[in-house]
């Protein structure tokens, strides 16, 4: 199962673009910070995550202001042209 959910702040939104098939797409950078317990020890977790959204989700996210906190759901996939992974956003809501 490849499901990923995270509450994060939108820190970068690129311009809305269109795939060769005409589907709206937008690339984003999300930033997350939380405290989790690992081996009975509190740990501060900070990360930046590259993300992409398509269709209606892309159109709405392209209009979002920076520093918007949202809950995101989707899946992880390999980046096309570089190393690493990209979070594919399938749904989100403001928190």
What is the CATH classification number for the domain harbouring 80?
2.40.50.140
Euclidean distance between the first and final Cα of the chain, in Å? 26
pLDDT band, residue 83 (cuts 50/70/90): confident
Give the model's pLDDT for residue 58.
97
Residue 88 belongs to what domain range? 4-94
Give the model's pLDDT for residue 64.
85
Give the model's pLDDT for residue 34.
96
Q: What is the pLDDT of residues 21-42, one digit of tens each?
A: 999 999 999 999 999 999 999 9
Give the model's pLDDT for residue 45.
96
What's the structural domain count of the chain?
1
């Amino acid at each position: 199962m490849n499901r990923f959910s995270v509450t994060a702040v939108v820190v970068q939104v690129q311009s809305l673009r269109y795939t060769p098939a005409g589907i709206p797409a937008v690339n984003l950078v999300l930033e997350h910070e939380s405290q989790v317990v690992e081996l009975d020890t509190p740990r501060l977790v900070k990360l930046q995550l590259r993300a992409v959204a398509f269709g209606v989700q892309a159109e709405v996210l392209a209009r979002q202001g920076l520093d918007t906190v949202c809950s995101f759901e989707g899946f992880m996939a390999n980046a096309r042209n570089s190393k690493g992974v990209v979070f594919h956003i399938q749904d989100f809501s403001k928190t």
